[in-house]
Amino acid sequence: MNGPVSGPAAVARTVRRIVSRARWRQRPDARVALDRLAQALAREGWRTAVHDHHGSPSLRVTASAVPDFGETITVVADPATGGPCYLSSTDSIVGSCSDPARAARQVTARLGPWIAAALAGQARRRNTASDLPPMTPGQFRRRFPDLPCWWGDATRSWWAATPRGLVSAATLEELCREIGRRGLE
């Protein structure tokens, strides 16, 4: 049978998963696990900051060269084992809390291409005649809060999902111009 499973059993599984994740987020162990990951990420060259939001700790990971762009990681129960694991802001498991060094390598593998693209875009813009500082992903999000944007590794360009479809451009500034030109603001 293809498609979503519905009914009381599916609802109960979903509720158990959400409650399990919420319980892990509020455990003191979660803070310790995030501190261990922060140390491993610091060894990889990342900037980190642990934040407590209503008793649920999270770890913000950024690169010093691109401080407006990064990842937020929390600790949840692994759906497969029930043990603690790191969860990214995209709701994907980064790794087990028992191996923070491996999880740090996963974060580096995920964020590295995005940071490299942002730095390449900054370098391209520095080589142009523009006196304006380059746009960061954070500035794009503030200008277009309802439009998700991302760097396409395969296409080597920035993308935005608009109500009328996808838009792409080589730089965030060009993406803003294209969105404005199409009247999608």
pLDDT at residue 150 is higher than 60: yes
CB 120 within 8 A of CB 109: no
Q: What is the mean pLDDT of residues 145-172?
A: 86
Give the model's confidence band at 126: pLDDT under 50 very low, under 70 low, under 90 confident, else very high. low
- Find all residues with CB under 8 Å of 141, minimum gap 6, and list them: 149
Residue with more model confidence, 132 or 56: 56
Q: What is the mean pLDDT of residues 64-83?
A: 84
pLDDT at residue 141 is higher than 90: no
- CA–CA distances in Å: residue 32 to residues 26, 40, 44, 95: 12, 13, 19, 15
pLDDT at residue 123 is higher than 80: no
The pLDDT value recorded for residue 129 is: 45
Residue 172 main-chain phi, psi, to 5 deg:
-65, -35
The pLDDT value recorded for residue 3 is: 47
pLDDT at residue 80 is higher than 90: no
Amino acid in position 9: A
pLDDT at residue 15 is higher than 80: no
Share of the chain above pLDDT 70, in %: 77
What's the pTM? Answer: 0.55
